Structure 1
Amino acid sequence: MALKWYTVVVDSIDPQAQARWWAEVLDWVSVYDTPEEAVIVPREALEGPERAASLEEWMRRGQGLVFVSVPERRSGKNRLHLDLAPHTSQDRDAEIQRLLDLGATRADVGQGEEVSWTVLTDPEGNEFCVLSSRDQ
């Protein structure tokens, strides 16, 4: 049996705004949008045939992000967060500045100054990290 990690679901006050923001951050595309739910996926997930011909092809397709409407704001520290990493050919500091310009905010979750990652929050306060540049 094969199970695939298909999506990460994020509770949101404004799913459409969150989906637009994350799509801009990741250069992904929206594939579903209703008042209660918005879904974004990597552009590559839309390349090729609509249906994967084999289990192996299906397993290789990237995961999506689903933003669902909830009435309450996030409270407390995230139990799950995303780690983003720039490629070694990219300017990590410029990528962080781009995220800040898009509306991210720096966050202190007790990480200290000696760490190799930067903690930010999205417009609804969900933490995520920008890791050091890497090529694998």
Structure 2
Amino acid sequence: MILNPVRHITIDAHDPHALARFWLAVTGYLPDEEPDDDEVLITAPQPGAPGLLFIRVGDVKAGKNRVHLDIQPPEGTRDETVQRLLALGATVYEDHRTPEGLGWVTMRDPEGNEFCVERSAGERGLPTS
């Protein structure tokens, strides 16, 4: 059987450099950009994880994303991560947190692409190493 690993997740952007900088701050990925290029790739520090490729497009995002990223904080809490991402320019789109502390927050990046912030491994009672 031949496996086809995901090499990149591609995101259309009006300003690929600005959007890549936002996602660098979100993910801790590594930059790989040329200032005049219409494509910006950021790569994961872990081998085998897909990169995020931002490509300049002229059209406007229309409707809900059919694919989105789920972010799980490696440390701290979901709510601390939501606050950090708000400070970076994200917005809350839908809040699915429950009074018991479960749930997730659907956010939008600075160009309106949806992503979710889940509870951290620690909040789930899982090992954090």
C-alpha deviation, 1:105, in angstroms? 0.2
1:92 to 71, 78, 94: 78
C-alpha deviation, 1:29, in angstroms? 1.1
1:64 to 44, 51, 66: 51
Mapping of 1:69-88 within 5 angstroms?
A: 69-87=56-74
C-alpha deviation, 1:113, in angstroms? 5.3
Alignment-derived partner of residue 38 in structure 1 = 40
Could you say what secondary structure the match of 1:107 adopts?
strand
C-alpha deviation, 1:101, in angstroms? 0.3
Higher fraction of helix:
1
Question: What is the CA deviation profile of residues 10-57 of structure 1, one whole-angstrom value per residue up to 9, with x for unaligned ones?
Answer: 000001111111011111111233431000011234xxxxxxxxxxxx
Q: How many residues align?
A: 118
Point out where structure 1 has 5 or more consecutive residues left out of the alignment: 46-60
Misfit runs of 4+, over 6 Å: none
Identity between Structure 1 and Structure 2 (%): 36
C-alpha deviation, 1:112, in angstroms? 5.1
C-alpha deviation, 1:127, in angstroms? 0.4
State the alpha-carbon separation in 2 of the partners of residues 112 and 130 from structure 1.
10
Point out where structure 2 has 5 or more consecutive residues left out of the alignment: none
Question: What is the CA deviation profile of residues 58-77 of structure 1, one whole-angstrom value per residue up to 9, with x for unaligned ones?
Answer: xxx21100000100121111
Q: TM-score, normalised by structure 2?
A: 0.82
